[in-house]
Amino acid sequence: MGEEEEEEVSVTALHHPNSGNDDQSLEFDIYPLSSYYFGSKDAVPSKDLTLVDRVLRMKSNYAASGIRTCVEAVLLVELFKHPHLLLLQIRNSIYKLPGGRLRPGESDTDGLKRKLARKLSVNEDGDGSEWEVGECLGMWWRPDFETLMYPFIPPNVKKPKECTKVFLVKLPESRKFIVPTNMRVLAVPLCQVHENHKTYGQIISGVPQLLSKFSFNMIES
């Protein structure tokens, strides 16, 4: 009887929000979209006009440097009292999280700050120190050059060709986003992104599930 009671208490502790496992770091402040200013700057040249171009470039880079490592940012804003994810839209059809490929020897945090400065800041050559990069939410792997991304390395794959790491980045109460003219920033509700693989791809559509452990504080302007 005693053992059964202890097991029941243990299960309850796992599910009760105030069971002693409360972690303040899992609370995340989100500020209104209206708190941010969006401007434009010169276009960023596109490296890949077609999927074939992308595959050829990946093969060339892999031959020179090995596995490709990318870092991407999850940026959240509040709109209509619901968390929205900031996405870059390219050519009206491709959606991406802000970020990009790391340079050889570059750390994840430094590389993501550099990419955010290049894509979203006034000063493209800055060190990106204004960006507060938080924890890594997840990692995806590309087994081959033309295959989809997976949140694991398939057992038959010994040398994956690409790894993408997604980080939660905390936005300040207000800031300026300066975006290349050939891109658009969209605020998309998490409920629309969730498991919408066809529109947003595996990584973006998986973000809401990765964020499920956080409690969002909607800060009113």
Instruction: Write the CATH number for 86.
Output: 3.90.79.10
Q: What is the pLDDT of residue 23?
A: 52
pTM: 0.85
> What is the per-residue burial (b if ≥16 Cβ within 10 Å, else e) of 154-185?
eeeeeebbbbbbbbbbebeeeeebbbbeebbb
The closest of 185, 186, 184, 191 to 211, measured between CA atoms, is 191
Q: What is the pLDDT of residue 29?
A: 96
Instruction: Going from the first residue of the chain to its last (221 residues), give the mean pLDDT of each consecutive group of 10, the final group possibly shorter.
Output: 39 39 74 96 80 87 93 97 96 91 94 94 76 96 90 93 97 94 96 95 96 93 69
In a domain, 149, yes or no: yes
In a domain, 73, yes or no: yes
In a domain, 18, yes or no: no
The domain of 45 spans: 38-218
CA distance 78 to 173: 11
Domain count, the chain: 1
Measured between its terminal Cα atoms, the distance across the chain in Å is: 54
Q: What is the pLDDT of residue 12?
A: 34
In a domain, 30, yes or no: no
